[in-house]
Amino acid sequence: MLTIKIPSSEYFNERLGKIVTIKECTINLEHSLISISKWESKWRKPFLSKDPLTEEQFRDYVACMSLTPIDPLVLFGLTAQNIEDIKQYIESPMTATTFSKALDNARQINREVITSEVLYYRMIAHNIPFECQKWHLNRLLTLMRVCDIKSQPNKKGRINRSAVLSNYAQMNAARRARLHSKG
């Protein structure tokens, strides 16, 4: 959980045509599957995409992250430091688990669109309890990735098919040469 203190401030709201005063307040935020699900239901687009969020979408996501309802006008009081803290919190891995570069490169090939429903499916497929939807999203994604890796059949000691066929061809060629046969 991230706690953000928003200082009191004033700004001109063009839509209302007046100066708005924001009182100092503290908000508690959680970057979780629940937050993403709320945001996607409003914006009808995947949160986990390469497209950067607009300022409006980012502020709305902060509102979705809030553990208690907040006045949307309060979000206009976020300072540059508040926004930087929130972005660092969202990007934080929140786990000690790391993956090799080879696994990262292999993973980038998959271009599947990831939505909250896909993540819920993966939770169900791996029997991950639903209380994990409240975890920091990066921690949940790491758990899902570990489950993906651990659930793959063990391929140690197996030779790929092309290597086997190449080996057979070499053995046959050696036999033909030794026996002076054409095959």
Question: Tens of pLDDT along 39-58?
Answer: 999 999 999 998 999 999 99
Domain borders along the chain are: 1-183
Rounded Cα distance, 35 and 1, in Å = 12
pLDDT in tens, 107-150: 555 668 899 999 999 999 999 999 999 999 999 999 999 998 88
Task: Record the pTM.
Answer: 0.75
b/e per residue 59-72 (b: at least 16 CB within 10 A): bbbbbbbbeeebee
Rounded Cα distance, 6 and 22, in Å = 9
Q: What is the pLDDT of residue 110?
A: 62
Rounded Cα distance, 4 and 77, in Å = 11
Q: Is the dihedral of CA 103, 37, 68, 17 positive or negative?
A: positive
pLDDT in tens, 20-33: 888 999 999 999 99
Q: What is the pLDDT of residue 48?
A: 93
Cβ(86)–Cβ(62) under 8 Å? Answer: yes
pLDDT in tens, 54-92: 999 999 999 999 999 998 888 988 999 999 999 999 999
Q: DSSP strand E in the chain: where?
A: 2-6, 9-13, 18-22, 25-29
